[in-house]
Chain A
Amino acid sequence: MGAMGNLSHRRGGPALLASGAMNAHRIAADPTGLATVVAGLRDAAGTTSFPCAPSAPTGDAAADAAVREFDVRWSACLRVLGEVAERTARQTDLTALAFRLAGG
């Protein structure tokens, strides 16, 4: 397992990290801290879902079309952003779990 010399996996944390034991090729994590990151990502994902807003015409066809397009495109984009944040949260959750197992 000499190959793992540069790929250390251990329970980390500020104390360990500040100790200088880490270098650019080592990996360490604090699962509890990662759980906080997961919570932040999930909170952020939650801010991207909105109920569909009723239309508010301006009386100008071009402007109404622009508003409609804005709503449609950004709704889709926010849905994607939410998915990205949620997916990242899941990955971070798995990472925290893996570090718990690896460092346990």
Chain B
Amino acid sequence: MPDRAADPAVADDLRRASRDAGARAHALDGGARRLLTARNGLAGTAGVLVGPAGERFQAVLTALHEAFLLARTAHEEVADALHRVAGPVEAEQEARKVLEDARHRLAEAGRELAAEQAGVVRQEKAAALATAAGAVPAPVDRSALVRAEHEVEEAEQAVRRAAHRHEEAERARERAVRALAVACRGAGAALALPSVAPPSPPGAPGSGATNVLFGPRLQDEVFSRDPRDLGRRRTKGAGLSAQERRRLARNGLSPRTPLFSLLYGSAEKDASLLGGETRTKGRSGELGAEYALGHASYKASGGVGAVGGGYGVAADFAAEAYALKAKAHAKLHVGPAEARTEVDVRAGGAEVSGGLGLHGGPHGFEGRAEAEAFAGVKAGIEQKLGALGFEQTAGMEGQAGIGGSVGMQAGYDGGKLKFSASLGAALGLGFKVRVGGEVDVPEIAHHAKDGLEAAGKAVKSLGGLFS
């Protein structure tokens, strides 16, 4: 035990700290009950929010409820431990005072005994002198000495009793204080809170999983991956699932963006009986091919509302099923230019598509309308060429079956001006053509600047020839 000469512990302060922790536990218990009520309100057929969004909300509320219960339990334990410390501290302090008093009494009794012993010695010396002088010596009075000796014995016994009691009280105090430290450390270890925003299962192609996204991740900013790291570590989306990243890429939401994205959603299924993919990369190009037998796909998207930085309306739908789907591509880089050719074959199946988009935001705008329906066999080739900020796309598709398609898209996003148009029809034999382009204004400006600098250098070097 530490030196008790300057014992800073005050039992009443410890009891007050215990009451404070108990009050916290009580308040947190109330919070947990309110969360439970809120969660129960969301759940079941009588719930106020139904669907995957409701399930997600419910999971969040369940995790929050568990976190509140954990906090309540931790504070209850520490409140109990603090309360259990106050009594032993008080008892040890009282026992220490009793011991100090007993020691003080023993010291006084010892001094009195010494004084009585000196008095007796003086009386014995006087008696000896009187005897030597032939006088009758006065009798030596030892009663006070006997009383003093008795007092010392009693004081010694009291000190022994007080010391024993103090030792016991000190041990009890040590036990209680150790228990408090253990309770605090244990409650601190319980800080590994449950994840409040459980990650969504990935909707990997082929897995057949369907996920409807709803709203933002609620606390990916607040809760870091290691909750014991209590610093407010912003994840900036680093902890997002692949699906959520796709969603961010699609509608421009960041985890920190306050949003009004309720009506945004996505459902996706993708499966095939057999499939494969191969790809070869070289210094100046790439070759790749992929195929799928018994391919089936279903996609849906949603929109409506102001969504992050891309305000507007959007809707999409796609469903396709083909016995065979195969695709091959070749890419070639030559200096600043790039060319890509893609061949796409689909046989023994059908597809329908839809699309409608209108976005406007701080970074640009986009308008899009597409519709397509087809059943039969088709094969197409698409060519893309790009250089110095310009890119053009052209595609041609031969079709055998029945179907029709029309689509237009135009937009400006982050300095890129984009446009595309497509038209197709088949009744028996048919075709589809697609053209598009992209103008990257910042890149063109960059190349223009480089060109001007190069021209300036050339002029300077020419000037040097004549100087």
Binding site for B on A (CB under 8 A): 1-7, 9, 12-14, 17-18, 22, 24-30, 32-34, 36-37, 40-41, 43-48, 50, 53-63, 66-67, 69-70, 73-74, 76-78, 80-81, 83-85, 87-88, 90-92, 94-95, 97-99, 101-102
Taking a contact as CB atoms closer than 8 A, the residue among B1, B48, B52, B315 that contacts A3 in the complex is B315
Inter-chain CA distance A50–B22, complex, in Å, is 12
Inter-chain CA distance A44–B223, complex, in Å, is 18
B288 at the binding interface (Cβ < 8 Å): no
A-B contact count (CB 8 A): 255
Binding site for A on B (CB under 8 A): 1-2, 4, 7-10, 13-14, 16-17, 20-21, 23-24, 27-28, 30-32, 34-35, 37-38, 41-42, 45-54, 57, 60-61, 64, 67-68, 71, 74-75, 78, 82, 85, 89, 173-174, 177-178, 180-181, 184-185, 187-188, 191, 193, 196, 210, 212, 214-216, 218-219, 222-223, 227, 230, 232, 258-260, 262-263, 265, 267, 300-302, 304-305, 315-317, 354, 356
Chain A residue contacts of B230, Cβ below 8 A: 73, 76-77, 80
A22–chain B nearest beta-carbon distance, Å: 5
In this complex, what residue of A is CB-closest to B298?
A6
Inter-chain CA distance A94–B18, complex, in Å, is 40
**Can you list 23 A-B contacts with CB-CB less than 8 angstroms, sorted by A residue number?**
A1-B356, A2-B317, A7-B267, A18-B46, A24-B51, A27-B52, A32-B48, A33-B47, A37-B49, A41-B38, A48-B28, A59-B2, A61-B2, A63-B178, A67-B180, A70-B74, A74-B187, A81-B67, A84-B218, A88-B218, A91-B216, A94-B260, A98-B305
A63 touches B48 (CB 8 A): no
Chain A residue contacts of B75, Cβ below 8 A: 74
Inter-chain CA distance A70–B46, complex, in Å, is 41
B68 touches A28 (CB 8 A): no
Q: Is the interface of A mostly helix, strand, loop or mixed?
A: helix
Given contacts A12-B48, A80-B232, contact A48 B53 (CB under 8 A): no
Chain B residue contacts of A41, Cβ below 8 A: 34-35, 38, 61
Inter-chain CA distance A69–B401, complex, in Å, is 74
Inter-chain CA distance A87–B37, complex, in Å, is 18
B38 touches A17 (CB 8 A): no
B177 touches A58 (CB 8 A): yes
Given contacts A22-B51, A25-B267, A74-B187, contact A95 B219 (CB under 8 A): no
